[in-house]
Amino acid sequence: MDKKDLKQDKKMVAGAVHKHEKALHPGKPMTKLRAGGKTNSDMLKMGRGLAKIANQKSPGRKGA
């Protein structure tokens, strides 16, 4: 995927999520969207279940 497309997609998703939050959850802070989670390459390499477990154990997650 082209970097321009990815940047545009992320901006579009963030706008939709924030629009939903403003309408249905007024007065609450906006969600901070961040990268993370299991990737397609992880799923191909390890399988879906193991990729999920590896992501949950990553040091970037709180409480793991």
pLDDT in tens, 16-43: 999 999 999 999 988 877 766 656 777 7
Q: Are residues 42 and 64 in the same domain?
A: yes
CA nearest neighbour of 24 among 16, 14, 35, 13: 16
Q: Are residues 25 and 10 in the same domain?
A: yes
* pTM recorded for the entire structure: 0.48
Q: Are residues 27 and 41 in the same domain?
A: no
Q: Are residues 3 and 22 in the same domain?
A: yes
Q: How confident is the model at residue 44 (pLDDT cuts 50, 70, 90)?
A: confident
Domain count for the chain, please give it: 2
Q: Are residues 42 and 56 in the same domain?
A: yes
Q: How many CB atoms lie within 10 A of CB 1?
A: 6
Q: How confident is the model at residue 64 (pLDDT cuts 50, 70, 90)?
A: very low
Show the domain range for 61: 36-64
Q: Are residues 29 and 4 in the same domain?
A: yes
CA–CA gap between residue 33 and residue 27 (Å, rounded): 18
Task: Considering only residues 24 and 63, tell me which one the structure prediction assigns the higher pLDDT.
Answer: 24
CB 13 within 8 A of CB 33: yes
